[in-house]
């Protein structure tokens, strides 16, 4: 599966380039995420990744919005969560984006990754990376 941190990422992926049975999953707006965020004291973008656990092993993780999601993914991997096949790290912004990508680059936890260094990134960049990879496979 392709696991996305934001709906804009999941909606931008060109599905016709993917195998028919390849799910694209975004859990940000799933039931209980808001409550879980309050309970854990973290952002919805971060705690929504908890719902990825059954799908994480061998997946393609696409972070195109929230640095907190990438930080949380790295925490999950440090705690023994299953490893994805690839991490595409394109969080954007002035707070945490550069730092989260630098943390991944410094220690990828044995997972291949692609990042855009610095504070730039975003949903469009993340989608472009997925679509480019899908085109190469095509």
Q: What is the pLDDT of residues 54-101, one digit of tens each?
A: 999 999 999 999 999 999 999 999 999 999 999 999 999 999 999 999
Residue 40 located in a structural domain: no
How many domains is the chain built from? 1
Domain of 119: which CATH number?
3.40.50.10230
pTM for this predicted structure: 0.93
Cα Rg of the chain (Å, integer): 14
Other C-beta atoms closer than 10 Å to the C-beta of 105 total: 12
Strand segments, DSSP code E, in the chain are 2-4, 24-26, 60-63, 86-89, 113-115
Average confidence score pLDDT of the chain:
94
């Amino acid at each position: 599966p392709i696991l996305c941190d934001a709906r804009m990422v999941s909606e931008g992926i060109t599905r016709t380039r993917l195998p028919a049975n390849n799910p694209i999953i975004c859990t940000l707006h799933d039931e209980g995420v808001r409550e879980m965020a309050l309970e854990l004291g973290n952002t919805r973008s971060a705690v929504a990744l908890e719902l990825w656990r059954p799908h994480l092993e061998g997946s393609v993780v696409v972070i195109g919005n929230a640095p907190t999601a990438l930080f949380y993914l790295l925490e999950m991997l440090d705690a023994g969560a299953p490893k994805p096949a690839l991490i595409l790290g394109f969080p954007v912004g002035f707070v945490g984006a550069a730092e989260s990508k630098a943390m991944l680059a410094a220690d990828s936890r044995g997972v291949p990754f692609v990042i855009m260094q610095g504070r730039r990134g975003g949903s469009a960049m993340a989608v472009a990376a997925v679509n480019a990879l899908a085109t190469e496979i095509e």
